[in-house]
Structure 1
Amino acid sequence: MKQQMRLHAQRLFDGQAYHCDQVLVIEGKKIIAIDEDTSQVDKVLSGLVAPGFVDLQVNGGGGVLFNALPTVESLKTIFAAHARYGTTGLMPTVITDDINTMNMAADAVAEGIRLGVPGIMGIHFEGPHISTVKKGAHSQQHIRPITEQEWALFNRQDLGKIIVTLAPEVVPEEQIKALVNLGVKVCIGHSNADGVTTNKAIECGATGFTHLFNAMSPIAAREPGVTGVALTSETTRCGLIVDGHHVDDVNIQLALKAKPKGGIFLVTDAMPPVGTDATEFEFFDRQVKVKAGRLISTTGELAGAAIDMASSVRYCHFNLGIAEDESIRLASQYPKDYLSGSPIQANPKVQLAPGMLANFIQLDEQLVVQSTWVNGNNVFSQETMAKEV
């Protein structure tokens, strides 16, 4: 018989509402009950217990760039770095690269899932089927059409969820439909498409947009571009980097007002420095340096982000004035809904309840992560970290 664990949450946000003095009863990977009997508990979780964060765009962390070292050990390092900041599930992301790197990354993810490495939900291929005009920091020499080798990769059934970011002006409509029929989540990004082409991609089954406002055709007076379609589409969702550098605060507010609630979710687009004190790292044939919070490539572009999910949530709440519960949903429920294919709903969901996976975090009053729990296991604790120091 599996051993039960009783955790006293002084405050609990279940994804829908706040509660006081609730006891989470954990057995195995799941919450089997929530009660109010605080007389016998294994641990008291002060502050706020909330749903864990889900990050659908993670290039690296803990000093590791997944492209550069696509192994199971890298996945463990990257996840451990992000777990410190409340991420309980993530999509390791492969930036535009050669097919060998893509295959090695896929093999690592498949093996990680087989071994039960915590937090690995699938894989995100950000490219290589993108626009050279809007490539950003991606390497032009690897940008290419979909070949039989990529189709073999996208057909794999051992990778968990698959996201492919592509530019619809360079990927034919029939291929977008084929990807969707395989169960791939197609996101539009790194694209210079016009509004007509973007809308046709949505009609073909594209459901998301990668890092809204960044590396996509902007709104003009007589041309909505990718950005305009992303903002006005009521059925698609947009990932958004909220770090004070990638998108102006006014544009963040615009996106949140334009899209239905649940139509925007946070992503970090995180790079190796997250979870470290590193100030630079190698990126393909270039070097990227951390300058005042920005990651600047030697070729001049922003190259991903140095932010973690908890910092993004704090920025939403404390800098932008978004309600605490909605700031948390932007990092938890909404990305999870996108990945699962759940339709956009007006009413928030309960995320922590009996029968659900025990993926949650403990936050203090400043929304700083004190502990992270994945499948009922405590994978990060500030207390343990302090003792080790």
Structure 2
Amino acid sequence: MGQAGSSVFLSVAAQQIFDGADMRGPGVVRISQGQIDSITFGEEARASIHLPADAILAPGFIDIQVNGGGGVLLNDQPTKAGVHRIVAAHGKAGTTGCLPTLITDRREVIERLAEAAQACLKIPGVLGFHLEGPALNRSRKGIHPEAEIRVPDRRDLATIKSFGGRGRSVVTLAPECLPAYMIDELIGAGLRISAGHSDATAAEIRPAVDRGILGVTHLFNAMSQLNAREPGLVGAALEDDRLFAGIICDGIHVDRAGLRVAFRCKGRDRLMLVTDAMPLVGTDDRQFLLQGRPITLQENRLTGLDGTLAGAHLTMIEAVRNAVALVGIPLIDALIMASRTPATFLGLESELGRIAPGYRADLVAFSPNFEVIGTWIGGVGSMGGASMASHRG
């Protein structure tokens, strides 16, 4: 290949192009050396790929919380092969960047992922990692194993801090459950900290945000709720414009009214669509084992034997569809919540989340029925199924 930008290697023509800010078109996106070389509107131009007339081309989706997919749970296979299968399963649904997520587990499991992390970052679509735990509040543990919830010792802390040098990685913790100096150390190591599985009061959250906590993990779920005289983590998240918040838009984890309230309070620039996906995504299976406990899928709901929700059976294209169809969020806003906002949270807003010259060519094309037609990561991708676009020289 030649020098970056020296020639065009792929061009995609679409009648509708969401460039990360506005819906425009028709136009042609030209890709060179894995980046957007140029975008031209209003011209009849030759292109290597012509999308169907009703298709939308948009920035690829970024999922900051994905526990599994393709039959793999990251905790069971914290390896390059395991991560590759997870990424491949979600790539078919439009996810071009993700943080494979490890839920609370034994020290040895975290260390295995740390050892494999550098190799995993070479997999297209892996932007970093998300460690959900182990410093959580047992009273808000959800499906996390109580026996492994703990304040990190120095060995744990060193391993977790190592992820600060492994892409744009995130740690979810309950800020009321560990000393402030540990939070400072994690932030100082380059990690993004998100509050979650927490029973914190609003008064406990505010100083933690002042210290540098950036996000809230799966808003409304496994956290202190908004009450009349105690706003809790939910109230703090809705009130503080500094905080980003991930939300599971599957119609199960959060009621539609709650989703609308979150959108009105946080807006498209602070609310992020996440999947919290489990291994069954991309498979026909109905059950898997989560750290030895059977988890069953029924009516799109994943639960343990006691009925506790155990992650979600969700893809990013489904989350976008649900945001539009169930909540009434405008499509443009839903797409921003699935791409530009998580890119900003990760500090990648100058590289991802837009279709503009110089941005990485991470793209998704989908139909009006929210069926993914094609996914490209760095300009390399695949076209799918019955909706295959026509190719022209």
Normalising by structure 2, we get a TM-score of 0.92
Distance 1:255-1:139 versus aligned 2 partners, 3 A rule? same
State the one-letter code of the partner of 1:21: P
State the one-letter code of the partner of 2:31: I
8 Å contact from structure 1 (residues 10, 44) kept in 2: no
**Partner of 1:102 in structure 2?**
110
1:88-134 Cα deviation digits (max 9, x unpaired): 00000000001110111222231122xx2110001100000000100
**C-alpha separation in 1, matches of 2:316 and 2:274:** 7
State the one-letter code of the partner of 1:122: G
Matched, 1:136 2:142: yes
Shift of 1:378: 1.0
**C-alpha separation in 2, matches of 1:41 and 1:357:** 19
**C-alpha separation in 2, matches of 1:292 and 1:219:** 29
Q: Which of residues 8, 12, 17 in structure 1 aligns to 2:17?
A: 12
8 Å contact from structure 1 (residues 288, 295) kept in 2: yes
Q: SS at 2:36's partner residue?
A: strand
**C-alpha separation in 1, matches of 2:241 and 2:11:** 41
Q: SS at 1:196's partner residue?
A: helix
State the one-letter code of the partner of 2:167: G
8 Å contact from structure 1 (residues 49, 363) kept in 2: yes
Matched, 1:154 2:157: no
**C-alpha separation in 2, matches of 1:319 and 1:260:** 16
Shift of 1:70: 1.0
**Partner of 1:307 in structure 2?**
314
Q: Which of residues 36, 44, 51 in structure 2 aligns to 1:45?
A: 51
Q: SS at 1:303's partner residue?
A: coil
**C-alpha separation in 2, matches of 1:218 and 1:174:** 26
8 Å contact from structure 2 (residues 15, 56) kept in 1: yes
8 Å contact from structure 1 (residues 109, 120) kept in 2: no
Matched, 1:34 2:39: yes
Q: SS at 1:161's partner residue?
A: coil
Shift of 1:383: 5.0
Between the aligned residues of both structures, percent identity stands at 36
Matched, 1:284 2:291: yes
Q: SS at 1:155's partner residue?
A: helix
Matched, 1:77 2:95: no
Shift of 1:209: 0.3
Q: Which of residues 56, 71, 77 in structure 1 aligns to 2:64?
A: 56
Instruction: Figure out how many residues of one structure are paired with residues of the other and give that number.
Output: 379
Q: SS at 1:245's partner residue?
A: coil
8 Å contact from structure 1 (residues 62, 272) kept in 2: yes
The 5 A counterparts of 1:154-303 are 154-156=160-162, 158-303=165-310
State the one-letter code of the partner of 1:382: G
More off after superposition, 334-343 vs 92-101: 334-343
8 Å contact from structure 1 (residues 66, 75) kept in 2: yes
**Partner of 2:381 in structure 1?**
378
Structure 1 unaligned regions, length at least 5: 344-348
State the one-letter code of the partner of 1:182: A
More off after superposition, 252-261 vs 222-231: 252-261
Q: SS at 2:78's partner residue?
A: coil
State the one-letter code of the partner of 1:48: I
Distance 1:236-1:342 versus aligned 2 partners, 3 A rule? farther
Normalising by structure 1, we get a TM-score of 0.93
**C-alpha separation in 2, matches of 1:211 and 1:303:** 12
Shift of 1:40: 2.2
Distance 1:384-1:75 versus aligned 2 partners, 3 A rule? farther
Query: Which structure 1 residue ranges, 4+ long, deviate > 6 Å from structure 2?
Result: none
**C-alpha separation in 1, matches of 2:206 and 2:310:** 28
Structure 2 unaligned regions, length at least 5: 3-7
8 Å contact from structure 1 (residues 193, 225) kept in 2: yes
